[in-house]
Structure 1
Amino acid sequence: MAGVVKKSNEFLRDVVKELKRVSWPSRKELTRYTGVVVATVVFIAIYFAIVDLGISSLIRFILG
């Protein structure tokens, strides 16, 4: 059991060391990246909504 605790502590120390080396984005970069992601998701959602509407209309036309 002591070995597990020792390895867990060593792992957590290594995680802290790695997180200190990470190059974190600035607030401006983070805001820009978030805007790009949100815009992309909205664009894709609108695209698929239009495609879905078109396919639904086509199927209703064929069946009705």
Structure 2
Amino acid sequence: MQFFRNVASEMRKTSWPKRKELTRYTITVLVTVSFLTLFLWAVDLGLSFVVREVLKL
């Protein structure tokens, strides 16, 4: 039980982000994930093309 009391006590000390900050962080994460998805898709497409061309020889 002491453990849970300590957890509750620490959670009250936690500084949670405000709504504006949380929105900004969420948008940043979504943009980053979208960019990485497109980048990795392009790399995969390029490597697939190269492998197909090499295997044709």
TM-score by length of 2: 0.94
- Give the corresponding residue for 2:33: 41
- Distance in 2 separating the partners of 1:39 and 1:25: 19
In structure 1, runs of 5+ residues without a counterpart are: 1-8
Larger Rg: 1
- Give the corresponding residue for 1:20: 12
- Give the corresponding residue for 1:62: 54
- Give the corresponding residue for 1:10: 2
- What is the number of equivalent residue pairs in this alignment? 56
- Distance in 1 separating the partners of 2:10 and 2:26: 24
- Give the corresponding residue for 1:31: 23
Task: Please say if 1:53 is aligned against 2:45.
Answer: yes
CA deviation digits over 1:20-54, x for unaligned, max 9? 00010000100100110111011001100000000
C-alpha RMSD over aligned residues:
0.5
Give the share of equivalent positions with the same residue, in percent.
46
In structure 2, runs of 5+ residues without a counterpart are: none
